[in-house]
Structure 1
């Protein structure tokens, strides 16, 4: 605010006049009239000056923001600040009564933890109408505006849908252009960076899983439990949980395969991790007697071992009854290798017995995976038999040879973490397996999507980077792959922003303010995750528990606060809904956004580009401190 000195000069005599009690009325009235008219005139002139100053303040505020944006983007150099300030201000300041107007910018470059600053000072005056009689022909006014930047840095995580449906309606192409094309989001954000590290971006392509890259198989943050265990000990899948057949102890080389897709989600193959099916257990070759499960049709995961058939002598399956018979397989056929003798109460059926160990490391294995969890799965029954009084498997795995598929063959897939940490950002620690990330061999539509040799590969995540060329290459290499699990993409976007996490996120400076942003785009509703009971790609459990877990994660993200008590993350969500009939609005995506204006419902591929441009513009403004 500014002060008019005339107020003091007129006010003091007027105060003395109020106390006087002599003189006639006419004289008094004449004397009083002059200051009263002066005060009224001063109020008029004062309001004109205030109006002019307010207009100047608004013009200065806009000018200083545009100057800082131009400097940040490299549109102007520091030597052009004065001329540009005058040009911007002249176009914005519209008060016609102001005269003698001038603006003076003062630019201070960033240094260390000290931010860059522009202070813009403005001054001017108006010609007075009434105050001239009091000796004030003009009224001066001034204003100032400041913008600071450079102490605010930005970290943006892009969780981008790479599922099969992105191939339709040009969506994957539009997404590549929106993010990595000329003038796309990467270009917009890179323009805000004057120094390496001012802006970081991570890219998280996701389908049912994310790909961390096969070279990371030695990392301590990985959980190898699912990889090592047989189908019967995979995560609790409810009705999809595989079980051992009743006559398990009688199956051996030449017997019919005891599994089918209808009974466990898988069938038998000719060897470990093979895609060649077989109707009988091999009786010759390297894998004679091996009972190898195929890809699970429910979980879309490849198993990395087989059950052996180790001869355990012969045994009596039943005796003492005329109804005694050889065990039958799942197709109601007598298992080979069994024969019966006698009749009536003297009848007895005997045959070969087998021990079935799973060909991943047991407690005594020292050949492979010596620093990894041991398989403790149940693989048979007490005394290797099933009876009417002994129906619970109790024999633990004890395999002592080399693994049939060691962890070094992992192609990079990881699935959702074990609950409750599938919905948290807790950092991994070896002392708590629920904080580790489950290695997985995702296999759907006859494709191992994380394999570099796949016809369509789910690209590996790219941690925070300011290598704009690599970022663009990563986005442009994205391909449509498998089913939709937004939660795993969101989880890794979160991990990419956490210092001390598995993606080697750069350290943060306590003296710097960070804008941490997550952008999650998906073109469909969630269909599958680590638990087939939740969703197996074709059907979902009632209430869609995939969405429920994701909603909990969103709630945890939005509740996270920084050291100043401010929201730690800004979340944008985008639903691309081009199908016919269209999907319903994703409630979990809509509610996950930080605010209603940060959720976007798109009905055409062309809107992907404009939406990312809108978000980029918003982030450009967010980059400025004030």
Structure 2
């Protein structure tokens, strides 16, 4: 009996100890959880790749949308541009994702930030056998301009050629200046208002022609005239006066000569003996000629007064008579000691002296109506604000090294303090200027300086210092008008002197010059990025006969000898521009240059359309551009603003 029971127990023991049988059972039991793990990993991997691809599309859309924005919030076209980038990077049904529409908008609490969100699902492959048929996909992203403290000076060519028309790609006709005004507004819309806490943005403006209108922005101590009695010398005129004492007078008589001439006699009877016969009327015409004045002013002047003395021996000169009779005239010669100042006891000769004359400018620079010393009829002048430059170095030529600025060229020095006559600026005074021939150098400009037909003495619109604008319609503290109002008021007049515009753009921007107290630091204490946007529609010009920042070159010869022709002056001013640009970049300022001209012939290189000096003035070849249409100019200004601002993903 016992032997019979041992066999089943031995079998079970052997079965329990058999590993092959256990592995098969264990594998069978693990198939389901293993399938779940592998399937879940596969589906999650697919979902991860899909979400990564979707996030890339989101980021691309946000960046594209913000880059397209030109206003304070997204427009319909901006949203369409962003959606185009999203769809390109993540087409519908990618990874079998369900159809969806991304939400693209301006962030509600911060409209200049672009916000993109997207949600969808994708089907599972293996996990659906466990009841999980889809996996959710969701992404969100934001893009904004992050910009630190930024100061921008817009140095704008407002010369006469900016009044000429251009035709845009859509057929719209507008002046070049009108296109520039739109471009500057676009620049603001792209870069924005900034914030004193997160990143202050300030805009300044420097319209230029042959001078700049900066006088009322300067402290009076920087100008000649800031101290009572200050004078500056102008090419002008003064009335010549004489005194009766000391003077000498001589009277003689001359008989009429039908041919040749007779001597002047000490007695009328002797002169009558010399005379030929002539009618009474012809005698009177010959005898009563205009007074003659000869000599130099100031100095000794001889005046001769002529008068009909007798006809037919009758004195006083008869009022009637017929026939031909003897004719005598009286000549009274007076030698006067002259001067060029009026006053008690002085009498005007009614003759102008043309020369260099000093004029008191202490009242003129205040903006008060000031008697013009070039007139004697009470004519007054009011200063527009334009300046003549401080002392320069006339030895600078077209080949002078541009690596440094000569010690005596105060006009090219950005930060040198105005402490004396040589280093202070002088008021530009066209109404007082006359050349030596008597031509009034203000003869082509009305008193408001805005109607010049030739621009030979132009004064552009007033410059404006750096200021923050909360919007284009807002008027900053200390300013008289808004961003838009100022830009809309720009006028086009004068010649194209790039160097004067560039140097004053630098002075208004400098943290170590005359505006250091305003420019050195930002309220938040962080560094300031400084930029000059220089726009011109033409090549640099220079003329002998312009009265501008360097006086009247033809007579003053401040930049070069007065014999230097226009081409020679142009070459020198170009060299001075190069010096100025190198000095500005040496201070860490970024210079952008935009040329704006008519469309050239097909195949023309941009580099042939812009002065070489301006190309090298820009910080690099990526910092200068050409525009041939108004719409292109606007886009270039937007592009510069986007480069100044830091476009980045903020979420």
Q: TM-score range by the shorter chain?
A: 0.5 to 0.7
CA RMSD of aligned residues (A): 6.1
Q: For 1:93, which of 90, 95, 100 is the aligned residue?
A: 90
For residues 613 and 496 of structure 2, what CA distance do their matches in structure 1 show? 14
For residues 65 and 39 of structure 1, what CA distance do their matches in structure 2 show? 38
Name the residue aligned to 2:185: 186
Name the residue aligned to 1:212: 214
CA gap of 1:140–1:488, structure 2 versus 1, over 3 A, is same
Does structure 2 conserve the Cα–Cα contact (< 8 Å) formed by 1:212 and 1:412?
yes
Name the residue aligned to 1:174: 175
CA shift, 1:486, in A, is 0.6
For residues 107 and 220 of structure 2, what CA distance do their matches in structure 1 show? 48
For residues 624 and 490 of structure 1, what CA distance do their matches in structure 2 show? 26
1:611 matches 2:633 = yes
CA shift, 1:216, in A, is 6.1
Name the residue aligned to 2:507: 495
CA shift, 1:425, in A, is 7.1
Alignment of 1:214-363 (within 5 A): 215=216, 219-222=220-223, 228-229=232-233, 252-254=299-301, 286=342, 292-293=353-354, 305=357, 359=358
CA shift, 1:281, in A, is 10
For residues 281 and 141 of structure 1, what CA distance do their matches in structure 2 show? 103
1:414 matches 2:461 = no
CA gap of 1:589–1:131, structure 2 versus 1, over 3 A, is farther
Does structure 2 conserve the Cα–Cα contact (< 8 Å) formed by 1:189 and 1:199?
no
Does structure 1 conserve the Cα–Cα contact (< 8 Å) formed by 2:69 and 2:190?
no
CA shift, 1:201, in A, is 3.4
CA gap of 1:577–1:179, structure 2 versus 1, over 3 A, is closer
Does structure 1 conserve the Cα–Cα contact (< 8 Å) formed by 2:156 and 2:208?
yes
Q: Of Structure 1 and Structure 2, which has the larger fraction of its residues in strand?
A: 2
Does structure 1 conserve the Cα–Cα contact (< 8 Å) formed by 2:210 and 2:495?
yes
CA gap of 1:597–1:45, structure 2 versus 1, over 3 A, is farther
The Cα offsets for residues 46-99 of structure 1, whole Å up to 9 and x where unpaired, read as: 88556534432332223434666799834369xxx9999999957863252153
The Cα offsets for residues 289-336 of structure 1, whole Å up to 9 and x where unpaired, read as: 998545xxxxxxxx5x2xxxxxxxxxxxxxxxxxxxxxxxxxxxxxxx
For residues 494 and 67 of structure 1, what CA distance do their matches in structure 2 show? 34
For residues 178 and 250 of structure 1, what CA distance do their matches in structure 2 show? 52
Name the residue aligned to 1:429: 417
Alignment of 1:545-564 (within 5 A): 545-561=572-588
Mark the structure with the bigger radius of gyration.
2
Name the residue aligned to 1:569: 590
Does structure 1 conserve the Cα–Cα contact (< 8 Å) formed by 2:68 and 2:81?
no
CA gap of 1:116–1:576, structure 2 versus 1, over 3 A, is closer
CA shift, 1:590, in A, is 1.8
Q: TM-score, normalised by structure 2?
A: 0.51
Name the residue aligned to 1:161: 157
CA gap of 1:86–1:532, structure 2 versus 1, over 3 A, is closer
SS of the residue corresponding to residue 175 of structure 2 reads: helix
CA shift, 1:191, in A, is 7.0
For residues 609 and 67 of structure 2, what CA distance do their matches in structure 1 show? 39
SS of the residue corresponding to residue 210 of structure 1 reads: coil
Name the residue aligned to 1:325: none
CA shift, 1:608, in A, is 3.6
**Gaps (5+ residues) in structure 1?**
1-21, 32-36, 232-247, 257-279, 295-302, 306-358, 362-367, 373-401, 562-567
Name the residue aligned to 1:600: 625
For residues 126 and 178 of structure 1, what CA distance do their matches in structure 2 show? 51
For residues 223 and 91 of structure 2, what CA distance do their matches in structure 1 show? 63
1:463 matches 2:465 = yes
SS of the residue corresponding to residue 544 of structure 1 reads: helix
Name the residue aligned to 2:170: none
For residues 385 and 140 of structure 2, what CA distance do their matches in structure 1 show? 56
Alignment of 1:478-517 (within 5 A): 478-498=490-510, 508-510=522-524, 516-517=530-531
Does structure 1 conserve the Cα–Cα contact (< 8 Å) formed by 2:207 and 2:460?
yes
Name the residue aligned to 2:205: 203
Q: TM-score, normalised by structure 1?
A: 0.53
Q: For 2:539, which of 502, 519, 525 is the aligned residue?
A: 525
For residues 204 and 548 of structure 1, what CA distance do their matches in structure 2 show? 21
For residues 510 and 486 of structure 2, what CA distance do their matches in structure 1 show? 21
Q: How many residues align?
A: 447
Name the residue aligned to 1:62: 60
Does structure 1 conserve the Cα–Cα contact (< 8 Å) formed by 2:145 and 2:647?
yes
SS of the residue corresponding to residue 600 of structure 1 reads: strand
CA shift, 1:585, in A, is 3.4
CA gap of 1:51–1:621, structure 2 versus 1, over 3 A, is farther
Does structure 2 conserve the Cα–Cα contact (< 8 Å) formed by 1:149 and 1:624?
yes
Name the residue aligned to 1:322: none
SS of the residue corresponding to residue 541 of structure 1 reads: helix
Does structure 2 conserve the Cα–Cα contact (< 8 Å) formed by 1:204 and 1:489?
yes
